[in-house]
Structure 1
Amino acid sequence: MIHEPGNAGMTIKRPRWWLVALAALVFSSLCMAQEGGSGSDSEAEGWYEVNALNVGLNESVDQTNLRTPRETMRHFMRLTEKGDYEGAAHILNLADLSPREQRARGGELARQLAEVFRRGKWLNISTLSARPDGMIEDVSGKDPRAGRMRRDIELASLEAGNDAYDIRLGRYRVGEEEPVWLITPESVSSIPVLYDRYGPSRFEDYIPEPLKQNFGLLRLWEWIAIPLVLLAIGLIGKGVHLVMTVITRWLPSGSPSIFFTQIRSPVALIVMALVTQTLLDFVVSFSAVVATTLRVTLTIVMAWGVGMIALRLIDTFMLHMTRRMAGEIDDSKPRDERKLLTTLYALRRVIILVMVVLVSIYVLGQVRLFETLGMSVLASASVLAVLVGIAGQAVLSNIISSFQLSLAKPLRIGDLVMFEGQWCYVESIFYTYILLRVWNERRLIVPVTYFASRPFENLSAKSTMEYRTLELTLHLNADVSCLREKFLEFAKAEENVIEHHKLLCSVTAQTASAQTITCFMMTVDPLSGWAAEASIREKLMAFIRDHHPDWWPRQVVVLSEQDIALGEHTKTHS
């Protein structure tokens, strides 16, 4: 309250400024809300408000066939299959064209769009919404768009050049009429560009009209052309394979020849894929079902071929390194070389794993799998994960065990191991199995998990040297000192017997009729030690046989007096 001078006894109340501002703000908000509500009715109802639709077209259209996205596209396909492109033009929103252009170009644009659908994107009409509001019905509740009305729907996304173009359906309402679904003006404007990319090729101008009739999913000429194209591509691949074989014969023996021999098939497949892709791009354009299948197949073949060539190059390099550094794989090579070979094999598995991941990402990106399957893939991801986990449990466990062996290195390439009673050399450690070379040159293939879960003796873990024992069973009258001298003489003469100061020959066991003499010696490796042991044994046995045959063990039989008397009696009567 402010007291004005000159007005005694009077009090004047002035409203405070913040009350005035608050009232103005509330009033403006109410006004904006009212205006916004009246302007967003169409969005809330799920359609676009327009003043008119295709006023330049002569004929009228039955709007009952355009109430839902599914009915609209089914009607469009039905009209274009009959050749009624003028009627199909009503399903295009030609708002960006003048009335005169609508009459002149409407039918042609409908025909071009039908060809784009036929060759560029196979449209599954059954997947479109059958509701007028285009609402997604998802009882599982996993689709965040479920329960919402839509006023535009994507039918296809196609690439032309370096750009991507969408073909969409929009819901439009004129005045108080029933809303209808039409191809959006933005999609109509991109039809000529897509037609240039996916339209019929010049080759089809020479095809007779009767062969252009539909027969099932394809046209008649396609049923004839596809086998011929596949046969021609197969012959081209066979020719490339033969050329690569001739080139291989001209190359000198060794790594280059081996590499060209291994990449003949991948190169042939890549050439076949490139030729097929060229035919699809510049010579002939098949229907969308065939074209999509071929493009996905070609992408997979190209990725697989490039990956196989890279893998063969790595294998050839590893083979060259193996022959140069270690020659034949065994435990007589230095530990560093065998360790390097094991590391190379582990690196090979890592490279394969990385290549598989990269190729899979490339293929998925090229075939646009996630865009095609969309939320269905995500919804079934958990089921697929369970199925893959169950089906591939053994494979995954083998792969993990393979990496574990490569990192921990309890054995290396070239190690000599005693596995389940057999002497084996470790030749290779792959993803799912280990390749062992048995002493008799047979190959033993053992799953990695089975090998890792069984005890094995690595005879090359620290050193290839082995202490060998040789046993002889002789009579009690055998001269051990004489035999010891001969053993030392024979052992020192063997090339594979080392550390002569560790040679030893002693009596280790004795019975009533014989004694066991054991000789000990250090050898360079197990197999050489076995050969040295056998050689020394033969020499000792020959020495005993030639010079001391009485050292051989003899069976002593003790006869009683009755046995002696019986023997004499028998001798007398005889």
Structure 2
Amino acid sequence: MMIKGLWRVWLVAVATLVLSGLCQAQESGSGEAGWYNIESLNVGLEGDTENKSLRTPREAMRHFMHLTETGDFAGAAHILNLGDLSPADQREHGAALAQQLAEVFRRGKSINISRLSARPDAVIEDISGKDPRAGKARRDIELASLEAGKDAYDIRLGRYQVGDDEPVWLITPESVASISTLYDRYGPSRFETYIPETLKRNVGFLRLWEWIAIPLVVLAIALIGKVVHALMTMLTRLLPSGSPSIFMVQIRSPVALIVMALVMQTLIDFVVSFSAVVATTLRVTLTIVMAWGIGVIALRMIDTFMLHMTRRMAGEIDDSKPRDERKLLTTLYALRRVIILIMVILVTIYVLGQVRLFETLGLSILASASVLAVLVGIAGQAVLSNILSSFQLSLAKPLRIGDLVMFEGQWCYVESIFYTYILLRVWNERRLIVPVTYFASKPFENLSAKSTMEYRSLDLVLHLNADVACLREKFLEFAHEEENVIEHHKLLCSVTAQTAAAQTITFFLMTVDPLSGWSAEVSIREKLMTFIRDNHPDWWPRQVVVLSEQDIARGETVAQRS
């Protein structure tokens, strides 16, 4: 009995496997057919269309566009699968649905017919083998994906066969059901009902009224931007001077552009509906303008905050301020560059997401990514190297904002460290703009690296009979009178060189910073020279000439003759 039971179980398992294989074979066979089998097609429509014009997706859409452009919407209705409608509704609404779909294509999404498959089975031919769908027959393909409200709707072509007839490509019933919704979103606006029919004829890729309306709309938007800019200027004059007024001046143009973009977007959405080419171009442009404007306003806000912090903490940027304040200021400028980089990345991601660049270009971008990376790397090598050097200087801090540096023989204060260049204020109030990589590759002397104090010296060349002790006493007196001379115990006066006719006396003094030290040096030199001129003019160096007896006799002879 147990053996018989096992045999029965085995037979049931074999039968199950066989039936499963047959079902899978049938499903596989239906999938390999590459079309949907239907019992009837658009029985409520009058007339008919030739199946040979619907054999491939490209032929079907070309035929649909031709019929709608010539005004034969009743014929174009045969290219819609109206299977979800009753025969009476097909006859009543078929032509209207075809006309509405043509308007959606013209205004919402321009279809590139040449990119559609020219094969009946719509097989993707991919020689590289990277597309996993390559070599497989398709029963439906996507023509467009459009948004209406918060929902997205796909318009697709499907391949259908009635009985033994040749399969044809038609707009799917699911896409037909969404035509009315998409038409409400992308169809002609109420404004267009007032446009004469003579202006609605096509001229090139636009209609005649669009060629007239676009320049007028652009001019009106420009006038609105100018008015906004003028109002912002008037508002700036009402604000108190300082950071608020500076901020308002800097954001006048971005705010005007944002208002212009919003007005244009409102016109496109609610007043006038342009063709797909114009609408898509305008939407991409407006998205970029608004993203750029918001980013610039945020950046100007950061710059105003930086200016306020600079004026409050450091005042005029120089090395007379505490080291911690200058270090904090340098860190803030480095943080500014990080924020700018993050903002650029976020704005770029936002713009790409809004314009759906990756959906439209897709494989083309991926295929050319390596080429673009190489081109960008070569073209932007200098810029990238400057940016990296800028971050290196900000993080390592070999110099800070406000440091006094000796660069290529010039005294300069570091005013700003930007992405690609460093702004240096020369001692004579000129500005020196140096690329970051050039500055980082050259040796420079940071006179404020550890301390702003500097030990300076001045030389006086005097006669050998000059009294060094007297000069030392006057030097100490003059040095004590200078407020920028510090550490008086380091004051020193010594003879540092001597020749047959003169001696060099050097005076050493410690000053609070290099620039003040230079001022103290020239002041003390002037006072010492005045003292010598007024009290000991014999201390000035003079040339000693030794005359021979012949020179003396010759001189006496010349004197007697004269």
- TM interval, shorter chain, is over 0.9
| 1:484-533, Cα deviation, whole Å (9 max, x unpaired) | 11111111111100000000010111122211111110001110100000
- Partner-residue secondary structure (3-state), 2:277: helix
Instruction: Please tell me whether residue 81 in structure 1 is matched to residue 87 in structure 2.
Output: no
Matched AA of 1:181: W
Aligned with 2:412: secondary structure?
Answer: strand
Which position in structure 2 is the counterpart of 1:467?
455
- How much does 1:390 deviate? 0.9
1:365-386 CA-to-partner distances (Å, cap 9, x unmatched) read 1111111112111111111111
Q: How far apart in 2 are the matches of 1:48 and 1:42? A: 9
Q: Which residue in the other structure is 1:8 paired with?
A: none
Q: Which residue of the partner structure matches residue 240 of structure 1?
A: 228
- SS of alignment partner, residue 510 of structure 2: strand
2:356 aligned with 1:368, yes or no? yes
Please, which of 285, 289, 301 is the counterpart of residue 313 of structure 1? Answer: 301
* Unaligned residue ranges in structure 2 (runs of 5+): none
Give how far 1:146 is off. 2.2
Give the direction of change, closer, same or farther, for the CA distance of 1:213–1:549 in structure 2 (3 Å limit): same
Residue 305 of structure 1 and its aligned partner are, at CA, apart by 0.9
Out of 532, 536, 542, the residue aligned to residue 524 of structure 2 is 536
The one-letter code sitting in structure 1 at the alignment partner of 2:15 is F
AA partner of residue 363 (structure 1): V
Distance 1:25 1:562 in 2: 145
Which amino acid is the alignment partner of residue 373 of structure 2? A
- Provide the secondary structure at the position in 1 that maps to 2:402: coil
The alignment-based identity, stated in percent, is 79
**Counterpart check, 1:435 vs 2:423:** yes
Partner Cα distance (1:272, 1:156) in 2: 29
CA shift, 1:80, in A, is: 0.3
Structure 1 residues 104-137: Cα deviation after superposition (integer angstroms, max 9, x where no partner): 1111110000000000011111111111111122
Displacement of 1:17 after TM fit? 5.0
In 2, distance between residues paired with 1:269 and 1:491?
Answer: 61
Partner of 1:406: 394
Find runs of 4+ consecutive structure 1 residues off by over 3 angstroms. Answer: 13-24, 558-574
The whole-number CA distance in structure 2 between the counterparts of 1:346 and 1:239 is 37
Out of 341, 366, 369, the residue aligned to residue 353 of structure 1 is 341
Match in the other structure for 1:176: 164
Equivalent residue, structure 2, for 1:527:
515
1:343 is displaced (CA, Å) by: 1.4
Which of 92, 107, 110 is the aligned partner of 1:119?
107
Match of 2:290 in 1: 302
Per mean C-alpha deviation after superposition, the further-off stretch among 132-141 and 472-481 is 132-141
Q: Distance in 2 between matches of 1:467 and 1:542?
A: 24
**Are 1:102 and 2:102 counterparts?**
no
Give the CA deviation at 1:139. 2.4
Deviation string 1:290-339 (CA, Å, 9 cap, x unpaired) is 00011111111111111111111111111111111111111111111111
Matches within 5 A, 1:170-569: 170-569=158-557
Number of positions where the alignment pairs a residue of Structure 1 with one of Structure 2? 562
Q: Do 1:46 and 1:150's aligned partners in 2 also have CA atoms closer than 8 Å?
A: yes
The alpha carbon displacement at 1:40 in A equals 3.2
Structure 1 segment 20-169 matched on structure 2, within 5 A: 20-169=8-157
* CA displacement 1:347-395 (0-9 Å, x = unmatched): 1111111111111111111111111112111111111111111111111
Structure 1 spans left out of the alignment, 5+ residues: 1-12
The one-letter amino acid paired with 1:295 is: R
Letter in 1 for 2:505: I
C-alpha spacing 1:97/1:460, structure 2 compared with 1 (3 Å): same
Describe the SS at the equivalent of 2:164.
coil
Return 29-38 or 271-280, whichever deviates more. Answer: 29-38
- Alpha-carbon shift at residue 571 of structure 1 (Å): 4.6
Partner residue, 1:4: none
State the 1:443 CA deviation: 0.5
Counterpart secondary structure, 2:136:
coil
Length-normalised TM-score, structure 1: 0.95
SS of the equivalent of 1:507 reads strand
Deviation by residue 1:81-119 (Cα, 9 ceiling, x = unmatched): 001111101111111111111111111110000000000
Larger deviation, residues 334-343 vs 266-275 = 334-343
Contact 1:237 1:271 in 2 (8 A): yes
Amino acid at match of 2:296: M
Letter in 1 for 2:200: K
CA distance in 1, matches of 2:388, 2:5: 76
Aligned residue in 2 for 1:9: none
In angstroms, what is the RMSD of aligned CA positions? 1.5
